[in-house]
């Protein structure tokens, strides 16, 4: 009684309209010794090509002579064909990282360069004192050495 059945594939769109896609009949022989046992079988159906208007819930229904069973359905959201979701998150992150690294290196180099220019070396004040002390005495009082930070 249950070896002959038909499988119907259909979908219901967002407007509630039912569209039948495919219908197939099956006649499954029962192997010897397997009578009066429940068997589960899978039947796949691929819908190609999907279009923008193919969104909806897809169902399958199995019909025997006096019984019919329907699946829970699978919701499919179809977008434009060939559409690839582009994400620039990684590119932005890498660009910002490189930019911040370059700014950090530049700032560090400027700080080190300014430190060399502004800060005297340890023996520089001694050189200034030696130059002042070795000058011959003159009639006017000696001028104080220029400040180190000049």
Q: How confident is the model at residue 100 (pLDDT cuts 50, 70, 90)?
A: very high
Q: What is the DSSP letter of 3?
A: S
Q: How confident is the model at residue 80 (pLDDT cuts 50, 70, 90)?
A: low
pLDDT at 124 over 60: no
pLDDT on residue 65: 84
Nearest CA to 3 among 33, 36, 52?
Answer: 36
What digits encode the pLDDT tens for the residues 109-121?
A: 888 887 776 665 5
What digits encode the pLDDT tens for the residues 5-57?
A: 898 999 888 888 888 888 888 888 887 877 777 777 787 777 776 676 778 88
What digits encode the pLDDT tens for the residues 56-72?
A: 889 999 998 889 999 89
- Strand segments, DSSP code E, in the chain are 4-12, 18-27, 56-63, 68-70, 74-76
Pairing type for strands 4-12 and 56-63 reads antiparallel
Q: How confident is the model at residue 102 (pLDDT cuts 50, 70, 90)?
A: very high
Nearest-angstrom CA–CA distance, 8 and 18: 12
Q: Which helix (H) or strand (E) holds 132?
A: helix 124-133
Q: What is the pTM (predicted TM-score) of this model?
A: 0.46
pLDDT on residue 104: 93
């Amino acid at each position: 009684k249950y070896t002959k059945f038909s499988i119907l594939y259909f979908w219901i769109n967002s407007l509630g309209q039912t569209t039948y896609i495919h219908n197939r009949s099956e006649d499954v022989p029962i192997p010897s010794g397997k009578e009066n046992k429940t068997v589960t079988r899978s039947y796949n159906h691929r819908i190609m090509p999907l279009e923008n208007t193919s969104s909806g819930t897809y169902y399958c229904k199995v019909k025997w002579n006096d019984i019919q069973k329907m699946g829970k359905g699978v919701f499919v959201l179809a977008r434009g064909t060939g559409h690839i979701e582009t994400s620039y998150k990684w590119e932005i992150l890498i660009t910002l990282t490189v930019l911040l690294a370059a700014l950090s290196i530049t700032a560090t180099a400027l700080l080190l360069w300014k430190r060399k220019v502004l800060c005297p070396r340890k023996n520089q004040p001694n050189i200034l004192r030696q130059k002042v002390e070795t000058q011959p005495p003159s009639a006017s009082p000696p001028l104080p050495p220029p400040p180190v930070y000049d």
